[in-house]
A and B are shown apart, each in its own frame.
Chain A
Amino acid sequence: MLKKMNIVDHVLVPKHEVLSPGEAAKILKELGIKPHQLPWIKASDPVIVAINAKPGDIVRIIRKSPTAGKTIVYRYVVPG
């Protein structure tokens, strides 16, 4: 009866998406930083496992923000 539980649907979990290498390079250039200077997210994070991202990837997180309405942040997937 129930469809399979997917934590991505939870109200506390914002949308995560993996960036293609091209996009990632563009974003890093725009921000003028190295990947490790972004906030990190562990490869073992349940959401990272769910969207199948690998260490070294950069994920775009689209948060709902009470101040800005919507904010986009990036996290660097680190082993762990």
Chain B
Amino acid sequence: MPKYLSLEEKSAIIEKYANILPLSIIEELKEKISKIEITMEDLERILQEVIREYWSSLVEPGEPVGTVAAQSIGEPSTQMTLRTFHYAGVREFNVTLGLPRLIEIVDARRTPSTPMMTVYLDEEHRHDKDKAISIARKIEMTTIENVTKSVDVDLFTSSIIIELDSEMLEDKGIEVDKILRNILKMKRVKNAKIDEDSPYIIRVEFEEDVELGELQRLRDKILASKIKGIKGVRRVIVQKRRDEYVLVTDGSNLAAVMKIKGVDYTRTVSNNIHEIEEVLGIEAARMAIINEIQQVLEDQGLDVDIRHVMLVADIMTRTGSIKQIGRHGVSGEKESVLARAAFEVTIRHLLEAAAKGEIDYLRGITENVIVGQVIPLGTGMVDLYMRIGRRGEK
């Protein structure tokens, strides 16, 4: 009768290898082994086999992981649709997807062409649609223009007359008094009052010396002024995801949204990677890059191993700030003149290098290909060093 191990014994034995094998393999082993009857010797033998397999699956020194990653992302990208806009679950607004979005991410653009946020709500607000809408109202930016029916400029008294839309006011939950107060706070405004005829008409008077051109400018400024909400958030849509309500916004301002009461700031994310870097740090930005690229590839039905994407994100965030993959970032910072010149804007690089008297140490791949030497990759990476001494000398 063989002696089978108990569940605890199995775990303890597997746990011994926690510093050799990664956590995910340990977990998987535990799960699979717990289902079978096994003796100590057999388990040890399985573990040895797993370790051998794990070691042989590791990347070998000298393997061109960067090139492999580039090819592995590049080839499927050629099959992506070139259509810029599409709707991702939100039919109300367009979102940049596919190749243009992928380029946007690796180019590390300051602002994405369609900035968006996914705002999660706290326990109190996430299950109730009305409560979710109340938060949505709080973060959606509303300008005076949004609640205005018509605007007239009275040249004779150099004042402007704003007729407000009562339905919009109610919809956004704004009172006329609040608008009045906001207008009064603005520069050059002498007086603003509600018209005698209607409670929704505001008459704004300016200081005497305001000229016609300036009047126009002031009118635009008043219309564009914010009454409530967060700057940059143009629209907010309430969406149901599984068992909770989330807000999807058009426009992004992560720092401000995270401070709003009722928002679960720990899960709220933006698709603006630079904003994430600013608010949450470089490691969060790395995660965001991985998530965004994976999202794009998944949407297009492409299966790219996440390790390639992780490598791209690692390289982009290596220096502590986000660098694009391109001539202003990763490629532009190569040590070798020849490698940089081979990539883009050849003449400028060569000219500058000549002017500065740069030296190329021929340590990279590109420059060695150019001069026709064995490239430092794979077996070519190995150098042979030999100490020359007389026979018998130690």
- Residues of A near any B CB (own CB < 8 A): 1-2, 5, 7, 9-14, 16, 39-42, 45-48, 61, 63, 65-71, 75, 78, 80
Chain B stretch 275-333: residues in CB contact (< 8 A) with chain A: 276, 278-284, 287-288, 306-307, 310, 314, 317-321
Known: A10-B265, A10-B266, A12-B269. A41 touches B320 (CB 8 A): yes
A15 to chain B minimum Cβ distance, whole angstroms, is 9
Most chain B C-beta atoms within 10 Å of own C-beta, residue among A11, A65, A75: A11
Known: A2-B261, A42-B320. A7 touches B281 (CB 8 A): yes
Measured between beta carbons, the chain B residues less than 8 angstroms from A69 are 22-27
Selected contact of A16 from candidates B267, B283, B310, CB within 8 Å? B283
Known: A66-B306, A68-B22. A39 touches B281 (CB 8 A): no
Q: B391 contacts the other chain (Cβ, under 8 Å)?
A: no
Contact B261 A13 (CB under 8 A): no
Measured between beta carbons, the chain A residues less than 8 angstroms from B281 are 7, 13, 41, 45-48
**Could you write out 25 A-B pairs with CB less than 8 Å apart?**
A2-B261, A5-B259, A10-B284, A11-B266, A12-B280, A13-B280, A14-B283, A39-B314, A39-B317, A39-B318, A39-B319, A40-B318, A41-B320, A42-B282, A46-B281, A47-B281, A48-B281, A65-B24, A67-B22, A67-B307, A68-B23, A68-B24, A70-B23, A78-B320, A80-B320
A11 to B258, CA, bound (A): 13
- Residues of B near any A CB (own CB < 8 A): 22-27, 258-259, 261, 265-267, 269, 276, 278-284, 287-288, 306-307, 310, 314, 317-321
A13 to B284, CA, bound (A): 5
Given A10-B266, A12-B287, 8 extra CB contacts under 8 A = A7-B280, A10-B280, A11-B266, A12-B276, A42-B321, A47-B282, A65-B24, A70-B22
A10 to B285, CA, bound (A): 12
Closest residue of chain B to A43 (Cβ to Cβ) is B320
A72 to B46, CA, bound (A): 26
Contact B283 A47 (CB under 8 A): yes
The 10 closest A-B pairs by CB, nearest first: A69-B23, A69-B24, A68-B22, A12-B284, A47-B281, A40-B320, A42-B320, A70-B23, A45-B281, A12-B287
Measured between beta carbons, the chain B residues less than 8 angstroms from A65 are 22, 24
Number of A-B contacts (CB under 8 A): 89
Contact A45 B23 (CB under 8 A): no
Closest residue of chain A to B281 (Cβ to Cβ) is A47
Measured between beta carbons, the chain A residues less than 8 angstroms from B317 are 39
Measured between beta carbons, the chain A residues less than 8 angstroms from B278 are 46
Most chain B C-beta atoms within 10 Å of own C-beta, residue among A12, A42, A48, A70: A12
Contact A13 B320 (CB under 8 A): no
A62 to chain B minimum Cβ distance, whole angstroms, is 10
Most chain A C-beta atoms within 10 Å of own C-beta, residue among B25, B265, B266, B288: B266
Measured between beta carbons, the chain B residues less than 8 angstroms from A46 are 278-281
Measured between beta carbons, the chain A residues less than 8 angstroms from B318 are 39-40
Known: A5-B259, A12-B280, A66-B306. A45 touches B320 (CB 8 A): yes
A62 to B276, CA, bound (A): 19
Measured between beta carbons, the chain A residues less than 8 angstroms from B307 are 67
A17 to chain B minimum Cβ distance, whole angstroms, is 12
A11 to B167, CA, bound (A): 40
Measured between beta carbons, the chain A residues less than 8 angstroms from B25 are 69
Measured between beta carbons, the chain B residues less than 8 angstroms from A39 are 314, 317-320
Measured between beta carbons, the chain A residues less than 8 angstroms from B321 are 42, 80
Measured between beta carbons, the chain B residues less than 8 angstroms from A9 are 265-266
A68 to B18, CA, bound (A): 12
Selected contact of B283 from candidates A2, A63, A67, CB within 8 Å? A63
A9 to B284, CA, bound (A): 11
Most chain B C-beta atoms within 10 Å of own C-beta, residue among A16, A48, A61, A69: A69
Contact B282 A41 (CB under 8 A): yes
